[in-house]
Structure 1
Amino acid sequence: MLASASPFVPPAPVPRTKPPSRFEIIRTVMRNPLELWGEPSFRLKWMKTKFFNERTLIANHPGLVRHVLVDNAQNYRMATIRQLILRPILRDGLLTAEGETWKRSRKAMAPVFTPRHARGFAEQMLAQSQAFKDRYVAAVDSNSGTGDVRDIAVDMTELTFDILSATLFSGHVAGSEEEFAGDIERLLSTMGQVDPMDLLKAPRWIPRIRRMFGQKVLDKFRAIVKQTMDDRQKMMRDEPDAVPEDFLTLLIRLHHPAGLTLDEIEDNIITFIGAGHETTARALGWTLYCLANSPADREKVEAEIDEVIAREPDPVKWLDQMPWTRAVFEEAMRLYPPAPSINRAAITDDSWQDEKGETVTIEAGTTVLVMPWTLHRHTLLWDRPEAFIPSRFLPENRGSIDRYQYLPFGVGPRICIGATFALQEAVIALGALLSEFRFDCVAETKPWPVQKLTTQPEGGLPMRVSRRQGNASR
């Protein structure tokens, strides 16, 4: 038995029992694509359907997922709709680049994102988390011990931005950091959503009304990134001994004939900001929300954090020594995957056969959807898939989870290059915050998962932040 008989079941759309009409598809995709999927998507190994007369395969069998994303990945390009949404923002960043551009960029950047480099940023992650915790101390103590009600979704966005700024830029951002953080939020809220023209696969030169409002902030955002890069290059020329060894410096050093162009470095910085900052922030918010509704798991996490911090001050070691803390974060990413869909399109005809001899054919041009949203909640793959059961991710239980049924960071050649960084960041942030505070739901805490670029809590996450009993002087 992995958990108590009545684990917390967090909110999620109820799978549809009948296919939506064409109008319902458009309306649902524009409002919240997570509400589109029907009951068969959560119980069948795969299913074929049509989406605006386009052949679509939903892949839920781990072996089929492996075939598409790993074993025969060269036969699958990025799906058109996905690129229409993301390329205007990210251009040739790792998430959207294809072909030789992607291969060259991935090869050049792989040494930058090694576990060794991630470990090198652990102290900065802890320092930023501690500084953020101090702000909580001031807010909570000013309320005479009753706690402070805050939107945790906003707070986690601010915390992960602080960590990103410290590790990516060493805090050296052209202009105001507050303005920069606000521009990130406006950029993602205006540019990262499906437009009706995307569904119709209209050419890129046809304006997307929804995104036109975001173009101005995108231009401003890119100008800030470019100026920050220019400032750093000048420092590298004029004051080499003062140059910080952060990600910006490491990336700029990749600017050479066999490496990256300055435009590609700019595209990837923007990709890291969007992918690394936003996804980790959302996952942290959902983790704190789920823990608030699962007191037994919260107590285990608190006890673990207290024990580890008391004997091990080095945050580099926390990821390995805090299995419960890591497990609650991974379970939150299962239920609310930061990237809820992975879209590919078949270049040539293909087929795959499962262990029972059943064959699925994949015609050229077919869109293949590997959706962590359905995969992570699939009835054939998970025990009580709708429930928050962190113990399934403890080391002794992980062997029952197939590598290709849990994809918070993707898989295969295009797996998230910053996965180790994100996991380390999350455990350090949770360790710092939960060593001092408890996060509890209030009457207004009624989040609803909505897919934009990430799985976001519509209505935010208003929660009461209070000192843990006996920790007022910690």
Structure 2
Amino acid sequence: MDMRPEPFEPPAPHPRTAIPSRLEIIRTVFRNPLELWGEPSYTLPWINSKFFAERTLIVNDPRLIRYVLVDNAANYEMSEIRQLILRPILRDGLLTAEGPVWKRSRKAMAPVFTPRHAKGFAGKMLAKSEEYLTKYADIGSEGRVEDISVDMTELAFAILSETLFSGEIVTQSDNFADDVDSLLHRMGRVDPMDLLRAPAWVPRVTRIGGAKVLGKFREIVRLTMEKRKARMRSDRDTTPDDFLTLLLELDGPDGLTLDEIEDNILTFIGAGHETTARALAWTLYCLSHAPQFRALMEEEIDRVITSGADPVEWLDLMPHVRAAFEEGMRLYPPAPSINRAAIKDDTWKSPNGEVLEIAAGTTVLVMPWTLHRHQLYWEKPRAFMPERFLPENRSRIDRFQFLPFGAGPRTCIGATFAMQEAVIALAVLLSRFRFESLPNVKPWPVQRLTTQPQNGLPMRVMPRSV
């Protein structure tokens, strides 16, 4: 008889059982799009529907996802509503650029994020993670309550700043995490005008308050660029050959414009660390309800660190740590939706012979949020079960069943970077401390640009006895 306790099911919206009215759809999308999806989204391989009179195809079948994002990706452009939300923030950054601009940017940045190059960041990731532990240095045996959502934002920003910008981002305050929250809360949500496909010049009332914060981020980027350009002019030999220098050296007719460089720097400062930070926080929360698996992680962490293994090897040497982080991203995918639109009429034939017609103009939604919790593809899909990602079990997971970093030509360029960063950060944090959930605190996931805990994620940080 299996005496193991039932796995923990962290807080998340349950599928809708009633068809919402048009007004209710608008309210839900504005409040929290994660609460919109009904039972079919979690049980059917695909759904043809209409959303505000527009044809919409919700895709969960991994084979169909591969077709849309890889096999026939040229026929599926970024959807209009996604661009209406993101372009005002990131303009021609890598997440929102299209056509020749995207190709130039992707080609230019690819060398920095190759697996070989990303491994070179491991030492700095370890150093910044260990440095961050000083924040908890005075925690006594009773522990202290911290907003882990804020803490992980600070840690991920520190790592990104040091690795990609050599610590030379010109921040204007110590409240960077609050600034990010404010930017995403005001700018990274769907406005009713977006649902109605109003032109970009029509004011979005919900985003008016975000203009000031966005301006602040743009100013940070400009000052950072000016400081580095001055250093490159005065003493190029001692200027770091990092991501910032690489981008600035691309300025010219055969590379990127200064505006495009600014957009990409903003993308990485404002959003590049945000996805990893959210996933780290959710993982720590889930682990607080999985003490048996956390104990296995602690044993693994202690063994590897004691062995003196180089941090560049930790990703391979800590399969339990990696599995916990991947399960955290499964349940709370940092990017909960991938939006495309069909350019031309298309036809897809399933292996069992079923034919799916996709008309030009159809919005195609590939949603990691529903895909990762889908009853056809996961055992106990709402439960936190990191063991499903251990090496002996990974072969059961289809490549297009788990999409924390997307897929196809526009897959996340920093996926290897993020995985290495997360394993190193978690290992350092859990080598010294435990993060315990608080009674009566059930963090609620909300979709902005990322999957965020509404009202933060307070947890008790406790010293760990080794």
Bin for the TM-score computed over the shorter chain: over 0.9
**Paired letter, 2:353:** G
Q: How many Å apart are 1:231 and its aligned residue? A: 1.0
**In the alignment, which residue of structure 2 is the partner of 1:123?**
123
Do structure 1's residue 164 and structure 2's residue 160 form an aligned pair? yes
The more displaced of 146-155 and 99-108 is 99-108
Do structure 1's residue 213 and structure 2's residue 206 form an aligned pair? no
**In the alignment, which residue of structure 1 is the partner of 2:109?**
109
What TM-score, normalized to structure 1? 0.96
The more displaced of 3-12 and 46-55 is 3-12
**In the alignment, which residue of structure 1 is the partner of 2:197?**
201
The more displaced of 53-62 and 159-168 is 159-168
Correspondence list, 1:181-192, <5 A: 181-192=177-188
What TM-score, normalized to structure 2? 0.97
Do structure 1's residue 359 and structure 2's residue 359 form an aligned pair? no
Q: How many Å apart are 1:247 and its aligned residue? A: 1.6
**In the alignment, which residue of structure 2 is the partner of 1:431?**
427
In 2, Cα distance between equivalents of 1:209 and 1:102: 29
Correspondence list, 1:389-400, <5 A: 389-400=385-396
**In the alignment, which residue of structure 2 is the partner of 1:133?**
133
Q: How many Å apart are 1:264 and its aligned residue? A: 1.0
Structure 1 segments of 4+ aligned residues over 4 angstroms from their partners: 1-5, 179-182
In 1, Cα distance between equivalents of 2:82 and 2:228: 33
Q: How many Å apart are 1:169 and its aligned residue? A: 2.0
Q: How many Å apart are 1:360 and its aligned residue? A: 1.0
Do structure 1's residue 257 and structure 2's residue 253 form an aligned pair? yes
In 2, Cα distance between equivalents of 1:117 and 1:402: 27
**In the alignment, which residue of structure 2 is the partner of 1:153?**
149
**In the alignment, which residue of structure 1 is the partner of 2:382?**
386
The more displaced of 154-163 and 441-450 is 441-450
Question: Once superposed, what is the RMSD of the aligned Cα atoms?
Answer: 1.6
In 2, Cα distance between equivalents of 1:294 and 1:415: 31
**Paired letter, 1:281:** A
In 1, Cα distance between equivalents of 2:374 and 2:176: 39
Correspondence list, 1:241-320, <5 A: 241-320=237-316
**Paired letter, 2:323:** A
Correspondence list, 1:221-236, <5 A: 221-236=217-232
The more displaced of 362-371 and 153-162 is 153-162
In 2, Cα distance between equivalents of 1:96 and 1:175: 24
**In the alignment, which residue of structure 2 is the partner of 1:408?**
404
Q: How many Å apart are 1:240 and its aligned residue? A: 1.5
Q: How many Å apart are 1:242 and its aligned residue? A: 2.2
In 1, Cα distance between equivalents of 2:2 and 2:234: 59
In 2, Cα distance between equivalents of 1:73 and 1:82: 17
Q: How many Å apart are 1:5 and its aligned residue? A: 5.5
For the Cα contact (< 8 Å) 1:3–1:389, is it kept in 2?
no
**In the alignment, which residue of structure 2 is the partner of 1:91?**
91
Of 331, 337, 340, which residue of structure 1 is paired with 2:336?
A: 340
For the Cα contact (< 8 Å) 1:276–1:422, is it kept in 2?
no
Correspondence list, 1:9-24, <5 A: 9-24=9-24
In 2, Cα distance between equivalents of 1:184 and 1:154: 10
In 2, Cα distance between equivalents of 1:449 and 1:189: 13
**In the alignment, which residue of structure 1 is the partner of 2:169?**
173
Q: Deviations over 1:229-252 (max 9, x none)?
A: 111011111111221232211222
Structure 1: 5+ residue stretches without partners: none
For the Cα contact (< 8 Å) 1:174–1:225, is it kept in 2?
yes
In 1, Cα distance between equivalents of 2:72 and 2:3: 38
Q: How many Å apart are 1:469 and its aligned residue? A: 1.8
Q: How many Å apart are 1:425 and its aligned residue? A: 0.5
Of 315, 321, 331, which residue of structure 1 is paired with 2:317?
A: 321
**In the alignment, which residue of structure 2 is the partner of 1:8?**
8
**In the alignment, which residue of structure 2 is the partner of 1:48?**
48
Q: Deviations over 1:402-456 (max 9, x none)?
A: 1001000000000000000100110010010000000111124210111111111
Q: How many Å apart are 1:2 and its aligned residue? A: 12
For the Cα contact (< 8 Å) 1:2–1:392, is it kept in 2?
no
Identity fraction in percent: 67
Do structure 1's residue 418 and structure 2's residue 414 form an aligned pair? yes
In 1, Cα distance between equivalents of 2:119 and 2:172: 28
For the Cα contact (< 8 Å) 1:450–1:456, is it kept in 2?
yes
In 1, Cα distance between equivalents of 2:3 and 2:44: 26
Q: How many Å apart are 1:58 and its aligned residue? A: 0.3
Q: Secondary structure of 1:178's match?
A: coil
In 2, Cα distance between equivalents of 1:3 and 1:116: 44
**Paired letter, 2:269:** I
The more displaced of 284-293 and 461-470 is 461-470
Q: Deviations over 1:44-84 (max 9, x none)?
A: 11011111001000001011000110010000111111100
Aligned length in residues: 466
Structure 2: 5+ residue stretches without partners: none
